Structure 1
């Protein structure tokens, strides 16, 4: 990024900061790091740190699909910034769409409707941050690295809350073939995409961006705000059997622009580490609710503010104070009851190698990072990085019989042309136990080769297993929502062809575990229940899919071996409580114990299992722990996190749970007391804390 582009946005900060007391500096991440580093090596309980930046296609995508993560991040006081790629001008009428609406009902005014949506967003953010939707904003026009201008709004009472309006033209259709759109720009069907300026914006001159200029403009925003967590939509939601996109085209292609901008931003050296979290959008319509009633109602309250439900003139704008289209259905299609991650929701990213050696993996800066600990009393070290870029959020690990670790992920290739865009399963293996990792190797995709990357890239996250001989098998949900598998023909050898294991309508990613008798189990959720594939004997082929009779879940599963069976953990729709059932495979089909409650009320997302500990999101959104042996309340921390927690019980019996904070750092918790002691209820765990203490991290950087 050029010095000139940095200077432009830095100048904005100086302009916006005038008269605003207590403005947080752009170097927030650095200041936080310096303060922590001087605190010494004393273990400090984890709190939410870093900065979060959301990038969405339209005003309201954040409120519908990223809340309550968004409102809870604002409540912590960290820097929170949202970038809107398009103006969301639609048909230019601030009322519900009607096929009978014509100019007799009032002329279309896209600039005014876009401004009304801006007003609604400012009111919703002010309400989230201060409780007062009329709280004042300072608004400025800022030159961008793409050669255009963006509007930047700073909340005066909470200047760490910023909104950035790129004001590009939207597609004005969910799936329609409109070249003047982010999709057309990405695919090279138009040389440049023009702006749709809102009425009242401080941006005075129209502009347009080429594809490269749009990527540069977004990357420049990243460079100035220095986020440690980037939130965006799903770049690969896929299509229906009829060919329609499963999501709005602006959501999908906007997320691809974010991928490209994040890749460009990652090339800078003067920045903090960052993670990426992807969110599901329209697909939530037909899926079970994930939020408890109280959280869903709170989310709905912010949507009602945005929708301008009361029609009071609280903003003083002739364009209106919110989005009256949304006012006809502020819940969306049940979206106020739901939040889902489309990537990075797996819990198997932590494992033990040789005895006592723990490994944890997470994607930072588009690369696979890892932390390790050589023994129960040894310090953690990291993050260190495997070679290679383009790695998507999420990791799956498995231990080979000789103690080596294999890591699985998916990787996105952007390429110079739209045809080059693609996503594949990849894996790498240690050369020897405790040794260096080899290069990433591609397993391709189970979907057929086609020019339509929106289909071939709509795969899930992998699950991996290893047999006693050391042969690896990877399982993945394909774009048709069925289960596919690929197995090595020999230990450390090539993988055979993709095999179809059936199943239909898979919602969540598969999970796998091997029971005490050596039989492998694989499970995947549907929208109504859970399907199972099980080996009838240890050496037999996997059979299934079997109906389990288990109740509806929110779609994310976790599993751990338990005696001659495996125990499943899942969230209950509409409440977030954790249910559990023990699966045994003694007969022709697996049998399941009655579902029992396993961990505290509320929360959403996957639950990590670390021996006798459960780790997951509490009702307040923070990471917490509970006992897996019976109903327990979550013991909450003060830290929000991204993705899903993971955990492992090492061979000494010590459980360690881990989560990636919004600061892009690894945080861990272990039970207090001797190895093998019971978790909460009987023993209080140590507080969540950074795995690598700040002083050690600072010394490592100095070296």
Structure 2
């Protein structure tokens, strides 16, 4: 959205009630109409709708690790709020880290430094929303369910943009064992954690929370804002193999665990919309290849420079300062301005076909595994329906068994009654009969048996099925190696977690079987891609094979093609989609030269099926393209969460699916050939809700979403 468009929208929003805000406009383009719809349903293309709420540990975690998702959500006009758990007061000195710029005699003032960070955040959000960093805010104090108070800031020109400051004390150390911290409170080392109020805040009285009160306070904020998408950091980032220290800031990790507990509590309420959770990688981005193209990286860096008060101009009138001068010497962080990565939910294998070609799509909503399906002959989609059980992490992997039954896999977190009982495990559920109900969740345990409560940075599972119906699961463990567990027989129990080797693995492994029946497994590293490929069907894997492929941004997709398997990935620094065809059968697998799929860059995973690619286009919206040398990306007007997926129906039609920011499944089919005017940009490709709501229900949902929004 251009600055002029944002300005016009801001003027309109200021004149509207909050309940009417939040739906972006749609410009019709090329593509297909919905395949089916219920009588009386609203036949309108999917646009960016819903309510997005970020929860981060410190001021700037959102700018470093959740942008450009954050700025692009703001640009659509939907409701966006960010919650800061701590004040980020650090040592109380608003000065550069460089020793020659520091004044050791200057007194520490944690309240003032925390205020400076608030000023910088408000400026960055104002710039993202209006183009003017000085755009005014309304600030007030509200009581929290936990017995304290929080500051709520509302952007006057864009009242759907809110900031919530919980103002808890930060750890004041990346990894030091400081009991007065979120980590200490979670682990029971302190009975309560006190506040660190900023100077200038409308919150007047200091307070403290015990562990349950923090959970209650966050859950109450969820209830107030009614998000359909919750963004937070990674609760299990892993440890260093050398020192054993956490790979992320302890506030990031334990703040995310408090969010996990709060979402679990919020999910038990009934008067709320469905919601999804997206986790973001923070410090572990350091040292990994850049993800964003130069233009997106520069835009992100610009907001960070605003936050860092890089020009040092006194435009805010605050004695504390107008931004975070600690960040000013390195506003890009440790390469963070050029990257964005998801800690979970970046796998594209969450849709499969069951009996009679019936599609089944799975995703986690409200901490439970949800699914949508439709019958034969393009019958209407139905869903979401839910499998029993809660605690599911974002992400799903679905496979079809030879008899037409469907199995779904994922990871599950158990919070436990004590900190030592916190753990993650892999689980799966299988249909009892084709097109039938799903059986109970069955645990596969975890390959991480050490320090289970401290960290379990396992990946999403990749699952293969052999000709007899026996399933094999591949997962990256916390030591960054590949592990495998397989059934003893079809419908049998899974065995122990064996090691397949590899080192430095990143992201999620992927697997595919070539037309000859040979299984391929791939996993990215920071420098290249490793492969495990059977020489003959059912043969054991040997050591991982170096592929010689270039570095990737992380997410991989694999799909059978020709006489081999095509591997798809994004190029670092541009985000363009590239592919290599891998063929096996000789003494060593052969990797074709890397070719480009064309179009502008993007980021995140790419779904592949039947010549159709789905993924984030350059603007961050979901788009589609053609694997057979067709035109560049057809962009939509819709932003989404998680990863896209694609499937080829029995009639040969390829279609894609994503979960919108509104927690609704949206689908599309391939754009018709010949719709791109010569010499022009590719046209838009609309997506549609898989289960359209009747118009009156859709309007009622719009009124309910965000009903407690601040003005």
Normalising by structure 1, report the TM-score.
Answer: 0.92
1:270 corresponds to which residue? 271
Preserved contact between residue 482 and residue 505 of structure 1 (Cα < 8 Å)? yes
Matches of residues 479-498 of structure 1 in structure 2 within 5 Å?
479-498=478-497
Q: In the TM superposition, what whole-angstrom CA distance separates every residue of 1:240-275 from its partner, at most 9, and x where no partner exists?
A: 011111000000000000000000000010000000
8 A Cα contact 1:597 1:630, kept in partner: no
Q: Is the 8 A contact 1:658 1:669 kept in 2?
A: yes
Q: Compute the displacement of 1:100 (Å).
A: 8.3
Q: Distance in 2 between matches of 1:390 and 1:57?
A: 22
How far apart in 2 are the matches of 1:127 and 1:191?
40
SS at match of 1:355: helix
- Name 2:334's counterpart in structure 1: 333
Contact 1:671 1:679 in 2 (8 A): no
Per the alignment, residue 707 of structure 2 pairs with: none
Instruction: Within 5 Å, give how 1:389-400 maps onto structure 2.
Output: 389-400=390-401
1:63–1:302 contact (8 Å) kept in structure 2: yes
Report deviation, 1:563.
Answer: 2.5
Is 1:66 the counterpart of 2:60 in the alignment? no
Task: Look up the match of 2:689.
Answer: 690
Q: CA deviation at 1:654?
A: 1.0
Q: Could you list the structure 1 runs, at least 4 aligned residues long, displaced by more than 4 angstroms after superposition.
A: 26-29, 37-40, 98-104, 677-686, 696-699
Distance in 2 separating the partners of 1:149 and 1:659: 38
Secondary structure of the corresponding residue to residue 49 of structure 2: coil
User: What displacement does 1:636 show?
Assistant: 0.5
Aligned-partner Cα distance in 1 for 2:159–2:378: 43
Task: Report the CA distance shift for 1:633/1:148 in structure 2 as closer, same or farther (over 3 A).
Answer: same
- Show the counterpart of 1:24: 18
TM-score, scaled to structure 2: 0.91
Partner of 2:9: none
Contact 1:622 1:639 in 2 (8 A): yes
For residues 224-235 of structure 1, what are the structure 2 equivalents within 5 Å? 224-235=224-235
Pair 384,679 (structure 1): closer, same or farther in 2 beyond 3 Å: farther
Q: Which residue of 2 aligns with 1:381?
A: 382
Confirm or deny: 8 A CA contact 1:345 1:394 kept in the other structure.
yes
Shift of the alpha carbon at 1:356?
A: 2.5
State the partner residue of 1:119. 119
**Aligned 8 A contact 2:636 2:684 in 1:** no
Superposition pairs for residues 94-133 of structure 1, below 5 Å? 94-97=94-97, 104-133=104-133
Q: Secondary structure at the match of 2:645?
A: strand
Q: Distance in 2 between matches of 1:147 and 1:266?
A: 21
Match of 1:584 in 2: 583
Determine which structure has greater relative contact order: mean sequence separation of CA pairs < 8 Å that are 6+ residues apart, divided by chain length: 2
Q: 1:140 maps to which residue?
A: 140
Cα distance, 1:602 vs structure 2? 1.2
CA contact (8 A) 1:671 1:685 kept: no
Question: 1:98 offset after TM fit, Å?
Answer: 5.7
Q: What's the counterpart of residue 349 of structure 2?
A: 348
Q: Tell me the CA shift for residue 587 of structure 1.
A: 1.2
Aligned pair in 2 of structure 1 residues 20, 209: CA closer, same or farther (>3 Å)? farther
In the alignment, is the contact (CA less than 8 A) between 1:613 and 1:679 conserved in 2?
no
Deviations 1:309-348 (A, max 9, x none): 0111111100000000000100001100000001000000
Cα distance change on mapping 1:208 and 1:581 into 2, 3 Å = same
- The CA distance in 1 between the partners of 2:647 and 2:696, in whole Å, is 24
User: SS of the counterpart of 1:370?
Assistant: strand
Quick check: 1:57 aligned with 2:51?
no
Alignment of 1:113-512 (within 5 A): 113-241=113-241, 242-450=243-451, 453-455=453-455, 457-512=456-511
3-state SS, counterpart of residue 484 of structure 1? strand
SS at match of 1:510: strand
Greater alpha carbon shift after TM alignment, 37-46 vs 575-584: 37-46
1:612 match: 611
Deviations 1:392-433 (A, max 9, x none): 000001110001011000000001100110000000000011
Pairs aligned (count): 671
Query: Cα deviation per residue 1:272-300 (whole Å; 9 max; x = unaligned)?
Result: 00000000000111100000000000000
1:589 Cα deviation from its structure 2 partner: 2.1
Q: Equivalent residue for 2:34? A: none
Distance 1:592 1:140 in 2: 60
**CA shift for structure 1 position 656:** 1.2
What's the CA shift for 1:631? 5.9
Deviations 1:84-111 (A, max 9, x none): 0000000000012366898753100000
Displacement after TM superposition at 1:44 (Å): 1.4
CA distance in 1, matches of 2:356, 2:598: 29
